[in-house]
């Protein structure tokens, strides 16, 4: 198990999570961990600082790419080729720079709400037009609406921005679903950019399938955005990877301006290398802690807020809470903030399907979860 830092230590941090709200608010919104860095990453960063190794990225240093490829091979049975990878500051940059080169201005790009809120902004930033095909929901589980995606392509959409695993619901798409998706995309001569930032946080007993492994079609028309930033809490260090499997997408990466590589953070690439190489034991323990925290949340809800429902995810440390039973309206996160001094991510920002929902970050101490539910219960 991985233990969170003390609240006293956490409140000394200067990141968004700890500076957005006053100290009487319990912050459980943005996707930052409350855990200390993995020891191998901490040691590598200390060594770099001691050596004054804080200069520009060497884009020809493939050590971070090789580390990711080794991890992908060992964990996902994916023989990704470091020679078909490129660096960037973060996954959002991978998405935008890829889409800019894969679509024409005004082309439709499919997203599947409820979904990571920046997707609504990244598509127009890349010159595209958002086409919403919400997740299917049978009341028990979410899934991609493959028929809806097919219809959207028939109406002219040219790309799909895939969230895999899916934020905020923690859905891990099956190989069968992704294979059928690749057939649909190929039939319409479209493309896929697959955001797989949460993939290393897939829970034990669940198999994550990289999109580029499911079929020859997927390898030809897909490009993946990968990073260790969520798994190892490295968002502020700025590093991510473009990953391709086809000559077409490799040419896209090689054709990017040199500045795309140079804007990545040197310390971020060091941390990425150390995390995927030497941080796997820490990551496994952290996932176990996250799984335990979901159990704590389920118990607390059952005892204190039985009208709040949670479908336990198969990945991420993010809990998608259905708060509609509380009668707090479309934006219960606003009520939680002002009446419970609890900061959650508002469901509306994930799309209209998020009305009445809120997202809670469980990469924290179990006591933090207990305190959060106590605050919500008192606010009733």
Q: What is the pLDDT of residues 287-319, one digit of tens each?
A: 999 999 999 999 999 999 999 999 999 999 999
- Dump pLDDT digits (tens) for 67-107: 999 999 999 999 999 999 999 999 999 999 999 999 999 99
Q: Give me the pLDDT at residue 291, please.
A: 98
What does pLDDT average to in each consecutive run of 10 residues of the chain (380 residues)? Answer: 96 97 98 98 98 95 98 98 98 98 98 98 98 96 98 98 98 98 98 98 98 98 98 98 98 96 96 98 98 98 98 98 97 98 98 98 98 97
Coil, strand or helix at 27: strand
| Ramachandran quadrant class, 302 (left: phi over 0; alpha: psi -120 to 50; beta: rest) | alpha
Residue 101's CB is within 10 A of a number of other CB atoms, namely 16
Q: Give me the pLDDT at residue 304, please.
A: 98
- Spell out the domain ranges in the chain: 7-38+279-379, 42-278
CB crowding 132-148: b at 16 or more within 10 Å, else e: bbbbeeeeeebbbbeeb
Q: Give me the pLDDT at residue 93, please.
A: 98
* Nearest-angstrom CA–CA distance, 201 and 86: 22
Within this chain, domains 7-38+279-379 and 42-278 share the same CATH topology = no
In the block, tokens 């190794």 appear at: 53
- CATH architecture assigned to 7-38+279-379: Alpha-Beta Complex (3.90)
Q: Give me the pLDDT at residue 330, please.
A: 98
* Nearest-angstrom CA–CA distance, 236 and 227: 12
Residue 71: which H helix or E strand, with range?
helix 63-76
What phi and psi values does residue 83 have, to the nearest 5 degrees?
-70, -10
Q: Residue 147: which of 133, 158, 159 has the closest Cα?
A: 133
The CA angle 196-202-208, to the nearest 5 degrees, is 65
Q: Give me the pLDDT at residue 275, please.
A: 98
- In CATH, 42-278 is 2.60.40.10: no
Residue 160's CB is within 10 A of a number of other CB atoms, namely 28
Q: Give me the pLDDT at residue 357, please.
A: 98
Q: Give me the pLDDT at residue 237, please.
A: 98
């Amino acid at each position: 198990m991985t233990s969170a830092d003390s609240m006293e230590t956490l409140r000394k941090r200067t990141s968004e999570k700890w500076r957005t709200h006053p100290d009487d608010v319990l912050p459980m919104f943005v996707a930052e961990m409350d855990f200390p860095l993995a020891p191998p990453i901490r040691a590598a960063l200390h060594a770099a600082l001691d050596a004054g190794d804080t200069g520009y990225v060497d884009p020809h240093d493939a050590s971070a790419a090789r580390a990711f490829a080794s991890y992908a091979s060992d964990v996902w049975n994916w023989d990704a080729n470091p020679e078909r990878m490129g660096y960037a500051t973060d996954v959002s940059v991978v998405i935008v720079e890829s889409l800019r080169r894969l679509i024409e201005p005004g082309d439709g790009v499919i997203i599947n709400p409820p979904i990571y809120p920046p997707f609504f902004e990244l598509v127009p930033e890349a010159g595209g037009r958002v086409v919403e095909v919400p997740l299917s929901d049978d009341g028990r589980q979410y899934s991609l609406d493959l028929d809806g995606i097919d219809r959207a392509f028939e109406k002219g959409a040219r790309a799909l921005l895939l969230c895999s695993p899916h934020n905020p619901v923690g859905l891990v798409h099956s190989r069968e679903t992704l294979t059928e998706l690749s057939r649909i995309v190929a039939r319409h001569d479209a493309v896929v950019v697959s955001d797989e930032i949460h993939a290393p946080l897939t829970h034990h007993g669940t198999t994550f399938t990289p999109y580029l492994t499911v079929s020859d079609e997927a390898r030809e028309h897909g490009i993946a955005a990968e990073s260790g930033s969520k798994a190892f809490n490295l968002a502020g260090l700025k590093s991510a990877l473009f990953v391709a499997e086809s000559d077409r997408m490799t040419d896209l990466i090689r054709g990017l301006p040199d500045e795309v590589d140079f804007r990545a953070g040197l310390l971020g690439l060091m941390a990425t290398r150390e995390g995927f190489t030497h941080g796997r034991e820490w990551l496994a323990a952290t996932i176990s802690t996250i799984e335990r925290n979901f159990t704590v949340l389920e118990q607390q809800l059952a005892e204190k807020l039985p009208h709040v429902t949670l479908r336990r995810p198969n990945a991420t440390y993010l809990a998608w809470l259905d708060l509609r039973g509380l009668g707090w309206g479309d934006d219960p996160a606003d009520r939680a903030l002002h009446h419970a001094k609890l900061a959650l991510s508002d469901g509306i920002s994930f799309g209209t399907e998020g009305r009445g929902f809120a997202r809670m970050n469980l990469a924290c101490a179990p006591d933090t979860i207990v305190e959060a539910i106590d605050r919500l219960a008192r606010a009733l």
